[in-house]
């Protein structure tokens, strides 16, 4: 009697639990009239019947970690991106050639000059960037002064895409040769032609440069040129061919002593600069600055026989530092 009563109670409890579970699972929507249930409907229904709460929890995306993701350091981490940047070039050249004229001391032959050029530029964002620099030419065999020329300069550089405008002042100081000292103001415009040719980097970077000597020679010097950088990133090497042509306008510095005149096409240069990154060679992080070694080769020739202009092949090598 007791066993029969226990079996009836157990069956009733099982029936009640089954009805409660069936009501908790939502029914799949009935297919439209005239269409049999699709495979996806059957699959969905099967998943709904088989999934249990722990499985549903496993399908929930995990929240993001509160700890920062650790990434390996990049080579450009720590590069000087502040408001002041510095550059230093130290070059040893076979001849000191400036604006198509060899600046060698008379009677001393090939000069083999050591040259220093230091510059600081201050980034003011959208405003013109002030800069200041100093160029020095050293020749140990000069009988008057080893420091043949000291050339301080300063000005403003204004990036106005796609052009960059420079204006500045240069003073030419020749120690113990005061009769050669002079001063000039200058301006230049460089075009970023990557927008014209739709390239990632500038193609020819054409520029026009003009200087007016208002002290000793009272005349103009004009120059136009182009260049292109062939970058070999895997080797850390850049090859830069260059070309320029100069024009004198009422500038007595360029007139020959006999049958000379002070205007006309004065000289042209064609050359090549090779730059090799020492950071790449020695795996030095650029946060310490960019170090490079350079090689130069130029051919310079005068154009107008009534104007001063020398014809020669010259070159050299040097070190470059940028920070």
Angle made by CA atoms 79, 83, 87, in degrees to the nearest 5: 65
pLDDT at position 47 is 46
> Does the pLDDT at position 176 exceed 50?
yes
**Model pLDDT for residues 286-297, shown as the tens digit of each residue:** 989 999 999 999
From 11-25, 67-81, 88-102, 258-272, the region with the lowest mean pLDDT = 11-25
pLDDT at position 33 is 45
> Does the pLDDT at position 319 exceed 70?
yes
pLDDT at position 110 is 75
133-138: average pLDDT: 97
Confidence of residue 25 (pLDDT cuts 50, 70, 90): very low
From 2-16, 168-182, 220-234, the region with the lowest mean pLDDT = 2-16
**Average pLDDT along the chain:** 84
- pLDDT top residue among 53 and 182: 182
Cis, peptide link before residue 162, omega less than 30° from 0: yes
Confidence of residue 178 (pLDDT cuts 50, 70, 90): very high
Q: Burial, 312: exposed, middle or buried (Cβ in 10 Å; 0-12, 13-18, 19+)?
A: middle
Confidence of residue 14 (pLDDT cuts 50, 70, 90): low
Virtual torsion, Cα 119, 321, 293, 235, nearest 10 deg: -130
> Does the pLDDT at position 1 exceed 70?
no
% pLDDT > 70, the chain? 74
Tracing tokens 């005349």 back to the chain, one arrives at: 219
> Does the pLDDT at position 158 exceed 70?
yes
Does this model's pTM top 0.85? no
For residues 289 and 318, the answer to whether their CB atoms sit within 8 Å is: no
For residue 268 the two structure tokens come to 């042209």
Could you tell me which of 299, 303, 280 has the C-alpha nearest to residue 291?
280
> Does the pLDDT at position 62 exceed 60?
no
- pLDDT top residue among 91 and 60: 91
For residue 130 the two structure tokens come to 């002030």
Domains and CATH numbers, the chain: 2-58 (no CATH), 85-322 (2.40.160.40)
Non-local (6+) Cβ contacts of 18 within 8 A are none
Using DSSP, state whether 321 is helix, strand or coil. strand
- Measure the CA–CA gap between 308 and 302, rounded to whole angstroms: 7
State the sign of the Cα–Cα–Cα–Cα dihedral 302, 305, 307, 308: positive
């Amino acid at each position: 009697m007791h066993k029969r009563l226990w079996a009836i109670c157990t069956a009733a409890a099982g029936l009640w639990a089954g009805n409660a579970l069936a009501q908790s699972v939502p029914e799949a929507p009935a297919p439209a009239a005239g269409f049999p249930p699709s495979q996806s409907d059957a699959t969905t229904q099967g998943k709904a019947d088989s999934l249990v709460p722990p499985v549903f929890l496993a399908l929930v995306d995990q929240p993001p970690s509160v700890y920062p993701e650790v990434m390996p350091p990049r080579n450009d981490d720590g590069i000087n991106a502040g408001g002041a940047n510095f550059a230093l070039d130290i070059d040893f050249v076979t001849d000191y050639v400036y604006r198509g004229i060899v600046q060698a001391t008379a009677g001393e032959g090939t000069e083999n000059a050591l040259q220093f050029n230091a510059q600081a530029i201050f980034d003011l964002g959208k405003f013109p960037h002030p800069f200041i620099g100093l160029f020095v030419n050293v020749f140990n065999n000069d009988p008057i002064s080893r420091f043949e020329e000291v050339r301080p300069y300063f000005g403003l550089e204004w990036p106005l895409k796609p052009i960059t405008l420079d204006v500045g002042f240069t003073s030419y100081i020749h120690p113990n040769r005061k009769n050669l000292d002079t001063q000039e103001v200058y301006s230049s415009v460089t075009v970023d032609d990557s927008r014209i040719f739709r390239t990632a980097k500038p193609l020819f970077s054409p520029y026009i440069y003009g200087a007016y000597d208002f002290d000793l020679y009272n005349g103009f010097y004009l120059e136009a040129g182009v260049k292109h950088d062939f970058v070999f990133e895997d080797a850390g090497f850049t090859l830069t061919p260059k070309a320029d042509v100069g024009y004198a306008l009422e500038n007595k510095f360029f007139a020959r002593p006999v049958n000379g005149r002070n205007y006309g096409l004065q000289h042209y240069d064609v050359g090549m600069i090779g730059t090799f990154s020492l950071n790449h060679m020695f795996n030095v992080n650029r946060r310490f600055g960019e170090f490079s070694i350079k090689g130069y080769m130029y051919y310079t020739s005068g154009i107008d026989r009534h104007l001063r202009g020398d014809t020669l092949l010259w070159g050299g090598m040097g070190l470059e530092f940028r920070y």
